[in-house]
């Protein structure tokens, strides 16, 4: 599976961004596409995912209310909508593929290259 993430950029606090992740290659639409982020000096953190089986998004409580996940199986694309961005959201955002609906990075098998989100105060 090849994953291509895009949509990052430099924004001011309070702004919104929509990140896209397109999957190609040996891909099954029963899998899960998840989003993680990693800030300098910090561990990788799960911020949202979409399990195609059932089509249900799931997010950690830390970002619920600000981030949403959606997808289009016909386009093999998952989006991560980031609203009311804060400086602490600054990180590289990665999409990844897993066979299970998980928030744990080691359960994800394929990773995209990441897209940088920078939020200024």
Residue 37 pLDDT level (bands cut at 50, 70, 90): very high
For residue range 51-91, what is the model confidence (pLDDT) as tens digits? 877 677 889 898 989 999 999 888 889 999 999 999 999 99
Q: What is the 3-state secondary structure (H, E, C) of the chain?
A: CEEEEECCEEEECCCCEEEEEEEECCCCCCCEEEEEEECCCCCCEEEEEEECCCCEEECCCCCECCEEEEEEHHHCEEEEEECCCCHHHCEEEEEEEECCCCCCHHHEEEECCCEEEEEEC
Q: Which residue has the higher pLDDT, 1 or 28?
A: 1
Q: Is 42 helix (H, G, I), strand (E, B) or coil?
A: coil
For residue range 90-121, what is the model confidence (pLDDT) as tens digits? 999 999 999 888 899 999 999 999 999 999 99
């Amino acid at each position: 599976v090849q994953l291509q993430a895009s949509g990052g950029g430099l924004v001011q606090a309070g702004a919104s961004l929509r990140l896209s992740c397109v999957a190609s290659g040996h891909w099954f639409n029963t899998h899960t596409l998840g989003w993680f982020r990693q800030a300098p000096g910090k561990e990788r953190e799960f911020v949202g995912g979409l399990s195609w089986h059932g089509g249900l998004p799931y997010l950690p409580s830390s970002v619920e209310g600000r981030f949403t996940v959606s997808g289009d199986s016909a386009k093999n694309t998952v989006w991560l909508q980031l609203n009311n961005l804060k400086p602490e959201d600054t990180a590289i955002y990665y999409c990844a593929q897993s066979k299970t609906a998980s928030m744990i990075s080691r359960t994800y098998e394929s990773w995209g290259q990441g897209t940088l989100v920078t939020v200024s105060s």
